[in-house]
Amino acid sequence: MWCWAAAVVLGLASWGPACEASLLGAVVTLEPLIMGKEVRAHTSVLAPEPCPSLQDIVCEGTNCVTHMTSDPISGQYPAPGWCLRQWQSVVPFNHTSHQALGGTDVILSSWAGLSVRPDNMRLNQPPIAALLPPLRVSVNCLQKFYLSVLDLDGDRVRCRYGDAERKECLSCFRHKFLQLDEENCVLVYDGLGEAGQYIVELMVEDFLRNEVNGMSNALSSTPLQLSITVEGASADCQALPTFTGRTPERGTKFTILPYEELDITVETQSPSEMISEIAVVGPPGLLMAELRKEESGSFASINLAWLRNPSDLPQLLSICFTANTQSLQSEIRCVWIKQKTIDSSPPGTVLQCRDGTMTFSFPISSVPDLVLSDLKLNNPSCPISYNNTHVMGDIPLQGCGTKLEQSGSELVYTNTLQTLLPDSPIIRAPTLVLRLSCRFPAARIGGPHFKMSPTNEEEVFGVPEFWLEFFPPGLGPESGVTQSPIVQRTDKIDLYIFSNTSVARAELQVSSCVQSPTMEFKTTQSFLNAGCVENDVLPQDHEESHRVAVFRLDLSKMNIQHDIMYVRCQVVLCVALRPSESCQSLCRNLQRKAVQPALYTKEYTVTSDPLHLEGRAITIPISTTTSVPILLLLNRARPESSFLVVGVAMGVVRMLFQTLLL
């Protein structure tokens, strides 16, 4: 026997008697560890709603990590919906666990060969299967599902049903209306099933492409469990939602370096029904924006983002997605993320993170025969210097293609020095990819560290001031109107919030506004909360939206019962640290779930002077100058002690060297 046999039966914890439905999908990915007798098991489960708490998961083995998130990936179909839960642990090769999910027993049995392969003398890597969203079919429509599987060794991968005698599954029931193409890993629904929900228990195995010493047995075997819901008959089996050309093709592979971000747009259209959701299953840390739909609902899209951070996640990660309407489902596509392996930096490499730049150097002798003239940064026009002994360069943090990403509470500036390969098909000289990164704030992990001079609010934004003004609709500062307008209590009025900022990329954001009959604000009525406006308030566009916010108040709906009204608002200034982007909306309903680092000021409070409501009319006094027409209720804001989350905190820098020798 040429390999260790690692038999791993991974179960799912009981999540309480209220959860009676069975799981809607599960997969285990195994990574052999260097010692050869243990594996790191990555488990992903689609659990029915209500979403189980990660604290209830019995995570066996050692080095257990549950991937915590306050907003887990979830989906609507099948009702009542589902959520994705993920965890990992190190288990011995002879580990066995058998637990229960609610009232349903679940077995996820994996077996991996843990010795050196006979063909390339390397440790075998088990195959990796992508976890699909719950499958949906119409009772009368044939449909194919392409299971997405990969193998890092390039082995032949097959899919088969679980075997009860090997204790690979619980029921091990094979549904007559499903056919499995084992060689190509394609599951076919023949259109003859009865309505209901079914579980499919499969095993994914890898085989040597060329037999060695007559060996033809599987090298390893990992589980893939899916759910398929057979629904009512469809009048048109061809009327399924389809993906547009902006959506990546099935099986697309993206190679990602450390601290590099992957951004994907999934776009779909439906010829017959309104699109309800784009269901997505992906790795820990996957961020999803809100679903965007046309008014008719026949066209929808969603943006996905994933940032590679330091972690023990597998080298291959999948993202699978499908579009759902009330009764139909599109094809399911899966794409793959390959985390590029990074070696240690060339001996003698030095990286210094300075104020506004990162400076690097490494000895030429550490990479013999390197063609120095082929070395380029992200922006090839930026110069790289070298002499007889060293390659060196000063890279601006805001130039030369330097990229900025947010990793948890840290900001990471990265650039890549690499050999710009010529067009020649034969390359004998070594190539180099040197990943240079500076992280802020830093934690000391050894070696030298460098202090950057603190950047305070005044240096970035100046001395911010804010004030409020009211205008009748259409008679704002740009109109030049100087007469004294009278606004009926049942009319609308525009609230202008101004900032004096001169920073071109600064944005004014309003987090909350209330109105009160007293200057002490003992009783208040909110009309803007957590960045979101109420039904009686509409945000208005303005040419200078970066320093002016305009809201139209519908006085008839605000139910104002008093004769005096004061307004108080909480405001901030923000600068997005990526020049091509704007700051994230403070309103959760409008937020894009993507990495968008930004720098914020303190939170400021600005309060109006009293606005008198006489009888059924509001009198708005005029300004005596025409340069600022109808100037009203000026009251400079005072800073509060509270802070918003600051995107950059300057301090000690942790240096990070990452290199790949190809």
Domain coordinates in residue numbering, the chain: 1-233, 236-341, 350-455+650-661, 465-636
Structure tokens at 575: 């600068």
Q: Is the peptide bond before 78 cis (omega within 30 degrees of 0)?
A: yes
Determine the 3-state secondary structure of 556 from DSSP. helix
Across 21-30, b (16+ Cβ under 10 Å) vs e yields: bbbbbbbbbb
CB 27 within 8 A of CB 224: yes
Q: Residue 198: its pLDDT value, please?
A: 94
Taking the C-alpha atoms of residue 183 and residue 168, their distance in angstroms, rounded to an integer, is 20
Q: Residue 611: its pLDDT value, please?
A: 79
Q: Residue 205: its pLDDT value, please?
A: 95
Which of these, 444, 414, 374, 451, lies nearest to 657 by C-alpha position? 414
Q: Residue 310: its pLDDT value, please?
A: 81
Rounded alpha-carbon distances, angstroms, from residue 393 to 77, 109, 330, 385? 54, 52, 50, 6
| Cβ contacts of 335 within 8 Å, gap of 6 or more | 248, 250, 251, 252, 253, 254, 264, 318, 319, 320
Give strand pairing partners of 25.
Answer: 46, 226
Residue/partner pairs of 445-450 with CB below 8 Å, 24 or more apart: 445/654, 447/655, 448/655, 449/652, 449/653, 449/654, 449/655, 450/352, 450/353, 450/354, 450/652, 450/653, 450/655
Give strand pairing partners of 203.
Answer: 160, 223
Q: Residue 18: its pLDDT value, please?
A: 32
3-state secondary structure string, 359-427? EEEEEHHHCCCCCHHHEECCCCCCCCEECCCEEEEEEECCCCCCEEEEECCEEEEEEEEEECCCCCCCC
User: What's the DSSP call for residue 461?
Assistant: H
The highest-level CATH class for domain 465-636 is mainly beta
Rounded alpha-carbon distances, angstroms, from residue 532 to 358, 429, 568? 40, 58, 15
Rounded alpha-carbon distances, angstroms, from residue 53 to 48, 49, 72, 196, 385? 12, 11, 11, 27, 54
Rounded alpha-carbon distances, angstroms, from residue 554 to 161, 318, 513, 527? 63, 49, 14, 10
Length of the chain: 662
pTM of the model: 0.67
Ordered mean pLDDT values, 10 residues apiece, the chain (662 residues): 40 36 85 81 88 69 77 89 90 59 66 78 90 96 96 94 86 91 96 94 91 73 94 91 96 90 93 94 90 85 88 94 96 96 81 86 88 90 92 90 74 84 51 83 33 47 84 66 42 85 84 89 88 79 72 81 86 75 72 60 85 57 29 33 22 31 34
Q: Is 1-233 a domain of CATH 1.20.1070.10?
A: no
Which of these, 277, 282, 256, 278, lies nearest to 335 by C-alpha position? 282
Taking the C-alpha atoms of residue 479 and residue 221, their distance in angstroms, rounded to an integer, is 73
Q: Which CATH architecture has domain 350-455+650-661?
A: Sandwich (2.60)
Domain 236-341 sits in CATH at 2.60.40.10
